[in-house]
Amino acid sequence: MSTSNNLKIDTKNLWPSNVERDFVDNLQAIVARDIAPEGDRIDREDIYPTEIVKSLAKHGYNTLTLEPEFGGGGLSFLHAASAFEEISVASAATGICLITIYQAQIMIRLFGQESLKQKYLPRFAEGLICAYALTESNHGSDITKLDTKAVHDSNGWVINGEKHFITSSMATEFYILLAETEVGVSVFAVPSDFEGVSKYTGENSSTFGLRNGPHMNVIFDNVRVPDDHMIGTEGKGVRQAVSVLNYSRTLAGAVSLGVARAAFEGALAFARDRKAFNQRVVEFQGIQWYLADMLTEIDASRLLIHRAAQSLDSGDQVPRWGSEAKYKAAAVATYVASQAAQICGAYGIMENAPFGRYIRDAKAYQVAGGSAEILKNTIAKCLLSLSGLQDGKGLR
């Protein structure tokens, strides 16, 4: 590609900040220094960026919304969404490292006993790495029945089973896990150094997108955990897991938004600098219309994510907004990344260009963490409830 000049895209006005400008500026400086240079390597080598994640924790980004009494920032989910977006402009894989950390943290905050909160929540500010283990080989979208079992005895719980596709498992120090007890699916906290916990790279562990290390298979072989490591109410695990997903879906939407922004900026810079038929590619009206559509979609998804983030702070219709935000943002990122490659011509298809990574990361998030179909089920369920009919019985 021939680039003609050093013109800078006015990103401050292209992506106006929805939280204090300083918050975004400070994070952008860290992202530019520590994450952007590593984004391609993390994806190519499929590695967990431990150093980056630990450093983000030191700067407070792993605990933005956690109460200050546990070492958190006590900030809003609008701040968290903004942080996930900025980090994922450089590396969606790093974004999902934080997703599984926030999932674990939110589960303990919402449902954990006081002793569990005191034990683990302060460790998040120190950089505790976490994974959120729901899926099994026979149970993905439908987690109402599980093959992983937990049995209670006089010394606490004993867990047996195997989880698949577990994001962040390569480096995790702590699992939030779903297992079935006598009364139904329940949630457990399991540090990875407890006896009987092991993991291996299975034949389905390598994904083509959201590559923060292989999404490994994790075995729980007679793993013993104390009573307070069962989180919330026995048998209410699916409801609790879905409540946490409703939080993380908004943040996942912000990860997709970061991918869309990166792809858009790449295409805009290319079209501005590349010449064909004696003019800049961006001067072709056909290309301008592509860009106009892409920007409009990104803006729409950004507004939806901000609405969803506000609902996490206010508690207003969280399942609806969270599902809409993730569903829309993942679709927009998939569309924008593909169009961005198109605008860049052959350069867009090159292995050394970032567009392949954007397309792969965007597509992967149309499945991971709640597929588009499951999200539409949730949105429809909310709609049925609002229609006055019923509470969406039968739809998950």
Ligand X SMILES: Cc1cc2nc3c(=O)[nH]c(=O)nc-3n(C[C@H](O)[C@H](O)[C@H](O)COP(=O)(O)OP(=O)(O)OC[C@H]3O[C@@H](n4cnc5c(N)ncnc54)[C@H](O)[C@@H]3O)c2cc1C
Q: Which residues here bind ligand X, judged by CB under 6 A?
A: 100, 131-135, 140-142, 165-167, 207, 210, 215, 364, 367-369, 371, 373-374, 377
Using left for φ > 0, alpha for ψ between -120 and 50, and beta otherwise, residue 168 falls in left
Q: How many CA atoms lie within 13 A of 128 on its CB side?
A: 24
Which residue's CB is nearer to ligand X, number 51 or number 142? 142
Amino acid, res. 312: L
Which residue's CB is nearer to ligand X, number 28 or number 103? 103
Can you tell me the distance from the alpha carbon of 86 to that of 21, in angstroms, rounded to the nearest whole number?
A: 13
Return the structure tokens found at 311: 């609902």
Of 108, 232, 125, the C-alpha closest to 175 is: 108
Of 126, 120, 92, the C-alpha closest to 106 is: 120
**Nearest distance from residue 325's CB to ligand X, in Å?**
17
Can you tell me the distance from the alpha carbon of 29 to that of 149, in angstroms, rounded to the nearest whole number?
A: 46
**Nearest distance from residue 354's CB to ligand X, in Å?**
18
**Nearest distance from residue 374's CB to ligand X, in Å?**
5
Q: Under 8 Å CB-to-CB from 198, ≥6 apart: which residues?
A: 218, 219, 221
Task: Tell me the H-state helices in the chain.
Answer: 11-14, 21-30, 39-45, 50-58, 77-90, 92-111, 114-124, 237-273, 285-314, 318-343, 345-349, 355-364, 372-386
Q: How far is CA 258 from CA 37, 97, 349, in A?
A: 16, 14, 20
Which residue's CB is nearer to ligand X, number 82 or number 167? 167
**Nearest distance from residue 367's CB to ligand X, in Å?**
5
Nearest position to ligand X, beta carbon: 140
Q: Rg of the chain's alpha carbons, rounded to an integer?
A: 21
Which residue's CB is nearer to ligand X, number 343 or number 375? 375
Q: In terms of DSSP bridges, do strands 184-191 and 174-181 run parallel, antiparallel, or are they unpaired?
A: antiparallel
**Nearest distance from residue 53's CB to ligand X, in Å?**
15
**Nearest distance from residue 347's CB to ligand X, in Å?**
27
Which residue's CB is nearer to ligand X, number 171 or number 368? 368
- Give 132's strand partners: 176
Return the structure tokens found at 14: 């292209």
Spatial contact of 214 and 179, defined as CB atoms under 8 Å apart: no
Spatial contact of 77 and 248, defined as CB atoms under 8 Å apart: no
Which residue's CB is nearer to ligand X, number 20 or number 373? 373
Can you tell me the distance from the alpha carbon of 339 to that of 294, in angstroms, rounded to the nearest whole number?
A: 8
**Nearest distance from residue 230's CB to ligand X, in Å?**
18
Can you tell me the distance from the alpha carbon of 203 to that of 224, in angstroms, rounded to the nearest whole number?
A: 28
Using the Cα atoms of residue 340, residue 369, residue 317 and residue 386 in order, give the sign of their dihedral. Answer: positive
**Nearest distance from residue 140's CB to ligand X, in Å?**
2
Which residue's CB is nearer to ligand X, number 291 or number 379? 379
Which residue's CB is nearer to ligand X, number 91 or number 167? 167
Return the structure tokens found at 82: 């903004």
Can you tell me the distance from the alpha carbon of 222 to that of 160, in angstroms, rounded to the nearest whole number?
A: 5
Which residue's CB is nearer to ligand X, number 286 or number 394? 394
Which residue's CB is nearer to ligand X, number 25 or number 373? 373
**Nearest distance from residue 104's CB to ligand X, in Å?**
11
**Nearest distance from residue 309's CB to ligand X, in Å?**
21
Which residue's CB is nearer to ligand X, number 333 or number 368? 368
**Virtual torsion, Cα 11, 14, 20, 23, nearest 10 deg:** -30
**Nearest distance from residue 76's CB to ligand X, in Å?**
25
